[in-house]
Amino acid sequence: MLRKLIVAAALSAGLVSGMAAAADWSALPEIKRTELKLYLSPQEALEMKLGGGEQVLFLDVRTRAEAMYVGMATAVDALVPFVEHQEIMTDWDEQRRMYRLEPLQDFVPEVERRLAEKGLGKDATIILICRSGDRSSRAANRLQQAGYTRVYSVPEGFEGDRARDGAQKGQRVVNGWKNAGLPWSYDLDKARMYFPR
């Protein structure tokens, strides 16, 4: 049923038209670039997941809190955080003006576990999405270092980039999964969530 809803949403938005109009990623900021140089717009990510079905692993690499409070793309197979907040959140990142995030040591093993559940290996197509493309690029590089060869990053992310000027300056309204009107929900499926092992 969920797959039918996703397909219907994609068709109604006119998205399933092939990837002929792929984005030009040559001007991508350095922080969003990956070693593999494999990028997808949110629409392309949805098309690839719908077209590839169980042969594609689509992962949300945001924190558990982000998925819980901001929602999650319904096409995502699982939440596998690349970084996570400290348990007590006592350390502050002055440069980023936020609580410090810690790399999740369980990231690669959890990706391997999710692939194994689908009967897939290191040559499988993997799509990564985060809030705005920074973490998904770092996560893609981490997987590339671990021997994965087909890891795509969604540089626009789930929430998109911040507007640089105008009435909505600083707000995430420029691009991204949610701003493209793609299917997402606050209702989370426990089977798709991350639990430390």
> Per residue in 60-72, pLDDT tens?
999 999 999 999 9
| The pLDDT of residue 190 | 97
CATH architecture label of 2-23+34-187: 3-Layer(aba) Sandwich (3.40)
CA dist., res. 193 & res. 92, Å (int): 26
Judged against a pLDDT cut of 90, whether residue 22 lies above it is answered with no
> Per residue in 155-187, pLDDT tens?
999 999 888 999 989 888 889 999 999 999 999
| The pLDDT of residue 150 | 98
CA dist., res. 59 & res. 72, Å (int): 10
Q: Are 192 and 76 in contact (CB under 8 A)?
A: yes
For strands 72-73 and 184-185, give the pairing: antiparallel
Q: List the domain boundaries for the chain.
A: 2-23+34-187
> Per residue in 33-46, pLDDT tens?
999 999 999 999 99
Judged against a pLDDT cut of 80, whether residue 16 lies above it is answered with no
CA nearest neighbour of 53 among 113, 7, 122:
7
Letter for the amino acid at 166?
A: G
Judged against a pLDDT cut of 70, whether residue 133 lies above it is answered with yes
Judged against a pLDDT cut of 50, whether residue 1 lies above it is answered with no
> Per residue in 96-109, pLDDT tens?
787 777 778 899 99
> Per residue in 43-58, pLDDT tens?
999 999 999 999 999 9
* pLDDT over 70, % of the chain: 87
Quote the mean pLDDT of the chain: 88
